[in-house]
Amino acid sequence: MLSAQDDKIAAFVTSNDGMATGVAQAAEGRNLAGKIFISGLDADTASLRLIAQGIQTMTVWTDLKEMDQAAIDAAAALALGKTPTVSSVVVDDGAGEYPTHRVPVFAIDKDNLCEFVNKLAPEGWVSAKDVWPDNPNVCK
């Protein structure tokens, strides 16, 4: 894409952090690191490190505990022949209305990276040393 557009691309919004990492590598190879908006999904360690370095702009974290619990509750209700009860909103995507459970997501960028690493990330997900190997005390 960068070659086809003569490096004139303002943003890449990818489906996951693995793809965002690939875009970041391509941007670095073309001396565009930090000059293109790059977004991923999953808050994996490599992307968190790229955010700390100013190469990737952001990632999105989904509250896995709530997502897992909602899926378990719905599966259990369906297995018992019941209608799942969830705090939901009705969505109509053109195929008709249906209930859906929306799980909170969090945008993570350089401004709230320390907060994610130290407070929001599940225990064992990532450490400051993983994100800032040369300066693990950066968030203190």
pLDDT tens for 27-38 read 999 999 999 999
First-to-last C-alpha distance (Å) of the chain: 40
Q: Is residue 3 part of a domain?
A: no
Q: Is residue 24 part of a domain?
A: yes
Question: Angle, nearest 10°, between helix axes 45-52 and 17-29?
Answer: 40
The boundaries of the domain holding residue 75 are: 65-100
Q: What are the phi and psi torsion angles at 116 (to 5°)?
A: -65, -50
Give this prediction's pTM: 0.84
The verdict on 50 and 88 lying in the same domain is no
Q: 68 vs 39, which has greater pLDDT?
A: 39
Strands (DSSP E) along the chain, which ranges? Answer: 11-13, 37-39, 58-62, 89-92, 97-100, 105-109
The verdict on 54 and 119 lying in the same domain is yes
The verdict on 28 and 70 lying in the same domain is no
The verdict on 95 and 108 lying in the same domain is no
The verdict on 47 and 91 lying in the same domain is no
Q: Is residue 44 part of a domain?
A: yes
The verdict on 15 and 50 lying in the same domain is yes
C-beta separation of 66 from 40 below 8 A: no
Compute the average pLDDT of residues 130-137: 94
The verdict on 96 and 76 lying in the same domain is yes
The verdict on 22 and 73 lying in the same domain is no
The verdict on 23 and 45 lying in the same domain is yes
The verdict on 21 and 40 lying in the same domain is yes
Q: Is residue 137 part of a domain?
A: no
pLDDT digit string (tens) for 77-105?
999 999 887 776 777 788 877 777 788 89
Q: What's the CA gap between 80 and 83, in Å, rounded?
A: 9
Q: What's the CA gap between 20 and 49, in Å, rounded?
A: 12
Q: Is residue 45 part of a domain?
A: yes
pLDDT digit string (tens) for 106-133?
999 999 999 999 999 999 999 999 999 9
The verdict on 46 and 19 lying in the same domain is yes
